Amino acid sequence: MTQRIETEVAIIGGGIVGASAALFLRRQGVPVVLLEAALCGAKASGVNYGGVRRQGRGLEQMPLTQRAHELWGQLPELIGIDGEYVRSGHLKLAFSDADMALLEAYRDRTRGFGMNLELLDRRALSQRFGWLGQNVAGGSFCPEDGHANPRLVSPAFGRAASALGADVREGVRVTSAEHDGSRFIVRAGDELEVRSRYLLNCAGAWAGRYAESFGEAVPETAIHPLMMVTEPLPVFMHVSLGVQGGGIYARQVARGNCVIGGGRGVSSGPDLARPGRANVGALMANATQLLPVLQGAQVIRFWTGVEGNMPDHNPVLGPSAKVPGLFHAFGLSGAGFQIGPAVGEVLSELVVRGQSSIPIDAFRIERYTDAAHGAVARPESVREQTLESP
Amino acid sequence: MSIVMPVIIGAGPAGVRAAQALVAQGLRPVILDEGLRPGGQIYRQPPPGFKRSKSVLYGFEHRKAKAVHDTMQELLSQVDYRPGSLVWNAEGKTLDVLRDGVSTAVPYTHLILATGATDRVLPFPGWLTPGVYTLGGSQVALKFQGCAIGSSVVFMGTGPLLYLVAYQYAKAGAKVAAVLDTSRFGDRLAALPGMLRAPGLLAKGLYYMGWLRAHGVPLHSGVRPVAVHGGDRVTGLSYRQDGQTRTVDCDAVAYGLALRSETQLASLLGCQFEFNTRDRNWTPLRDAAGRSSVPGIYVAGDGAAIAGADAAELSGERAALALLEDTAAHYDAQRAQVLEARLAANSRVRDALERAFPFPVDWAESIADDTVICRCEEVTAGTLRHAARDTGAQEMNRLKALTRVGMGRCQGRMCGTAAAEVLAHAVGRKPADVGRLRNQPPVKPIPVRVVCLERPEKVST
Ligand SMILES: Cc1cc2nc3c(=O)[nH]c(=O)nc-3n(C[C@H](O)[C@H](O)[C@H](O)COP(=O)(O)OP(=O)(O)OC[C@H]3O[C@@H](n4cnc5c(N)ncnc54)[C@H](O)[C@@H]3O)c2cc1C
Ligand SMILES: Cc1cc2nc3c(=O)[nH]c(=O)nc-3n(C[C@H](O)[C@H](O)[C@H](O)COP(=O)(O)OP(=O)(O)OC[C@H]3O[C@@H](n4cnc5c(N)ncnc54)[C@H](O)[C@@H]3O)c2cc1C
């Protein structure tokens, strides 16, 4: 027999985006039902590298990432745990003078967004970070960026929402979502039917299909960033490392393990990905080059995840162009962990106040759905950053 | 007919017999084995230069050991045997094999996984004290290095291996301070009718017990570990029996509660798993011949399910015959039937053995909160229980994410079963219902500086 629930807001997907939307809605007393196919935070949100950085993001993401930065600062009040979040600093390296020039240009363009980027030349780097490889040309340091433990943080958003009264249902896979003219009808097979005034499409790499079912086909693809972790090593590095232009990134957790990312895993079915033999060798080689101390260390695990990606590496965030009451938030393109909480808050504002206090125009779904009319406007970008270089 | 490039992983009894059957039909399998000499666990050979004879090393099994070693010796010119090779990743039809610091890609058309087993580790207070070994580990020390783990050793746990290894230690000149069996005498009595199907095995077991008793070794049944004593080194062990706590002095403890199949590769290759109630563990789904759920991949020996060395030989050969059948090569269908019948008979004996030496189902509830379950990450039973209670974790991968259990060097190969027992008990479910840890490469830790050769090498056929 089908269970039927009436609610104000239905959410598809309990990643950091969907769960934080549920949390912020409950903080304002809005009835919410969140449907998660697996477990909250079990997908991209729970398996990512854990980089919590603003540096490197495009200008269009600056207001969002700034707000997220404030929210990360309140993490324990938000979700009840510290999530191993540390403002360790984020150091983005340049291996050539040309890349150094790009870092400088980036600093100039993002002045005023509170990142306080500090440019360091080769000498300054070797003084402060003696463990770095020799071939570094310079770097840009963002003192208040950092990292956190996604395995702990993302599920905690789901638990926090639930504790505030959200009806969070794990292991419930949405099979259809439609609008009957007055309400959304969201079904999970024959088991469950949720009717709601609003619907939030937060299904991560799987969200494109819901957009499409509402007549808004978008070119969302799935990517699988490749990760590895070493055995615990004596602590030598506190900052989170990235590289201008992407390719490899690394951090060390309190326990001593180095978490290193770069390259891609491979898809092994619609819902799953695996590290893939193609790129693990390159990742290991790059890692020892970046961090010579890893020469004597051992890798204990490779892994990857399934993440939604958009062609311009910006999310789709905001109201549907077709169906009133439908809001999209997906395609965070390999960099959504940091902005996730702010995205959730924006969604709650869109529901409660009909508008967001943060500019999100660059993320409109129309930039893709209108593409057929030649109207796609790529915002002026400073995306030296790629999704592979948190 | 397309070229068949079979690869066998494991040169224990299962792998060797599989290779023999393939060679008999003119195939030239690649045999990959982490060990430096063939024989696997039970017929593990000491490094060259060690002088102990096979009859001393393998006791009653020395003829079987010799047969397996000799077979491998005869096969050497007809197989591509690569000792010291760790298969650390598997994907599609390619294996990543680490040997001497270099990783090469080894392609195959058909794969026999004969990867064996390791001890099933179930912690108890004090188990991290230096001088505490797993039962299998204590035997490896003796077989491989000719070393005893101590001069006065307590053997504790359950299963036929318990008495065997105690006997081997005593024969080798170590003092066996006690053999403490967690199963009860009544369990073995109840299993007796079933055990009569395997009179040889029964006789051996009784012989070991009789010999130990005759040499003054105290044998106790129905015991439960309380704690290992000692700081830098084991000084003793206390246990409960009939409601009383007793202590025995010793300088080493060998502890073992059966084995756990080594299944990482089957998992990486996408084989389906099932919960094997007799093993109390997840093992690859397979048919009577050893075919896994993935075409072209076969599982044999203890890596498929715990069945012992004789069954390993049978199932290795049977899997090879299945491979031959599947590649339309000649295969002896009658022999296949004989093997299956013997495996079925062996399985009934296994049932009886499990009855004789049952898993201590009260282990998970009895273990104290401060006992470390995952030693790589220092995760205690209490941490696991609190995570289950406070976060609603009901499943192993979620428990791992929240507590780090199984996130260390062994990636759950050692602590996974114990953690699953604790979780299942904490949430009031069966071990089968808390799932199994997802496996990822590498199967064992590999150096970051490993050189991965890009181009798959050509396999000689
Ligand atoms: C390996 C990796 C490394 C990364 N590193 C970083 C980093 O360092 N820093 C950073 O900022 N970002 C990083 N990211 C990106 C970041 O993880 C994602 O952008 C972010 O987690 C996306 O959150 P989400 O909630 O949109 O998606 P998800 O976490 O994928 O959540 C979507 C949820 O929807 C559920 N769902 C899907 N379909 C259905 C359905 N039909 N019914 C019910 N539920 C459904 C899924 O089960 C899933 O839980 C990384 C991503 C990966 C994969
Ligand atoms: C420590 C120990 C001691 C034992 N002692 C006895 C005993 O005394 N008597 C008894 O009856 N039974 C004993 N057993 C059980 C016995 O091992 C098995 O019944 C029998 O050896 C199983 O044979 P097999 O061929 O399936 O596996 P094994 O003999 O275990 O051989 C498996 C081989 O595969 C190799 N391998 C596994 N994974 C990989 C990989 N990823 N890459 C490369 N190589 C790999 C291993 O190194 C090993 O050489 C023991 C088990 C253990 C773990």
Q: What is the pLDDT of residue B459?
A: 43
- CB A50 less than 6 A from any atom of ligand 1: yes
Integer Cα distance of A220 and A226 in angstroms: 19
Q: Are residues A123 and A165 in the same domain?
A: no
Q: Spell out the domains of chain B, with CATH numbers in brackets.
A: 6-118+260-353 (3.50.50.60), 121-257 (3.50.50.60), 360-461 (1.10.10.1100)
Domain boundary among A261, A288, A309: A309
Q: Are residues A237 and A298 in the same domain?
A: yes
Contacts of B17 (CB under 8 A, 6+ apart): B68, B71, B312, B313, B314, B316, B317, B320
Q: Are residues A366 and A237 in the same domain?
A: no
User: Pseudo-torsion of CA A67, A73, A76, A78, nearest 10°?
Assistant: -10
Q: Are residues A107 and A9 in the same domain?
A: no
DSSP assignments along A120-140, one per residue: EEHHHHHHH-TTS-TT--EEE
Burial class of residue B456 in the structure, from the number of CB atoms within 10 Å of its CB (0-12 exposed, 13-18 middle, 19+ buried): middle
Residue A119 lies in a domain: yes
Contacts of B167 (CB under 8 A, 6+ apart): B59, B208, B211, B212
Q: What is the pLDDT of residue A371?
A: 64
Using one digit for the tens of pLDDT, what is the confidence trace for A231-263? 999 999 999 999 999 889 999 999 999 999 999
Write out the residue range of the structural domain in which residue A11 sits.
3-47+151-219+311-384
Domain boundary among A278, A294, A309: A309
Instruction: Give the residue-averaged pLDDT of B175-200.
Output: 93
Cβ-defined contact of B450 to A284 (cutoff 8 Å): yes
Write the residue in A46, A159, A298 that is nearest to B446 by C-beta: A298
Residue A62 lies in a domain: no
Q: Give the CATH number, domain containing residue A132.
A: 3.30.9.10
Our CA angle for B289, B293, B298, nearest 5°, is 45
| Cis peptide bond prior to A319, omega within 30° of 0 | no
Cβ-defined contact of A277 to B377 (cutoff 8 Å): no
Range with lowest mean pLDDT among A156-160, A226-230, B261-265, B451-455: B451-455
End-to-end CA distance of chain A: 47
Residue A53 lies in a domain: no
Integer Cα distance of A28 and A25 in angstroms: 5
ipTM: 0.92
Residue A203 lies in a domain: yes
Using one digit for the tens of pLDDT, what is the confidence trace for B361-406? 999 999 999 999 999 999 999 999 999 999 999 999 999 999 999 9
Using one digit for the tens of pLDDT, what is the confidence trace for B124-152? 999 999 999 999 999 999 988 889 999 99
Q: Give the CATH number, domain containing residue A181.
A: 3.50.50.60
Using one digit for the tens of pLDDT, what is the confidence trace for A280-296? 999 999 999 999 999 99
All residues of chain B having their beta carbon less than 8 Å from the beta carbon of residue A285 are: 451-452
Q: Which two tokens stand for residue B43?
A: 């017929």
β-bridge mates for residue B90, sequence order: B95
Give the total number of structural domains in chain A.
Answer: 2
Q: Are residues A228 and A138 in the same domain?
A: yes
Q: Rounded mean pLDDT of chain B? A: 94
Q: What is the pLDDT of residue B56?
A: 76
Residue A319 lies in a domain: yes
Q: Are residues A241 and A304 in the same domain?
A: yes
- The order of strands in the sheet holding B236-241 is B224-229, B236-241, B244-249
Q: Which two tokens stand for residue B210?
A: 């009789």
Instruction: Give the residue-averaged pLDDT of B7-30.
Output: 98
**Does the structure show a pLDDT above 90 at A385?**
no
Note the ligand closest to the C-alpha atom of A332.
1
Using one digit for the tens of pLDDT, what is the confidence trace for B269-310? 999 999 999 999 999 999 999 999 999 999 999 999 999 999
Confidence bin at B452 (pLDDT 50/70/90): confident
Q: Are residues A230 and A139 in the same domain?
A: yes
Instruction: Give the residue-averaged pLDDT of B239-268.
Output: 97
**SS3 category, A265:** coil
Which regions of A17-124 does DSSP assign to beta strands (E)?
32-36, 51-52, 90-94, 118-121
Residue A73 lies in a domain: no
Instruction: Give the residue-averaged pLDDT of B335-353.
Output: 96
Q: Are residues A206 and A270 in the same domain?
A: no
Residue A365 lies in a domain: yes
Cβ-defined contact of B449 to A295 (cutoff 8 Å): yes
- Phi and psi at residue A170, to the nearest 5°: -90, 155
Cβ-defined contact of A155 to B401 (cutoff 8 Å): yes
Question: What type of residue is B390?
Answer: D
Q: Are residues A192 and A226 in the same domain?
A: no
Integer Cα distance of A172 and A190 in angstroms: 11
Domain boundary among A309, A331, A347: A309
Residue A288 lies in a domain: yes
The long-range contacts involving B149-152, CB below 8 angstroms and separated by at least 24 positions, are B149/B252, B149/B254, B150/B174, B150/B234, B150/B250, B150/B251, B150/B252, B151/B175, B151/B251, B151/B252, B152/B177, B152/B249, B152/B250, B152/B251, B152/B252
Q: Pick from B217, B98, B214, B103: which is nearest to B155 by CA?
A: B217
| Nearest atom within ligand 1 for CA of residue A13 | 34
Pocket-testing residue among A35, A49, A272, ligand 1, by greatest number of atoms within 8 A of Cβ = A49
Q: What is the pLDDT of residue B456?
A: 47
Q: Are residues A255 and A275 in the same domain?
A: yes
β-bridge mates for residue B82, sequence order: B32
pTM: 0.94
Q: Are residues A113 and A227 in the same domain?
A: yes
Q: Are residues A228 and A364 in the same domain?
A: no
Q: What is the pLDDT of residue B454?
A: 62
Write the residue in B408, B411, B441 that is nearest to A275 by C-beta: B441
- CB B284 less than 6 A from any atom of ligand 2: no
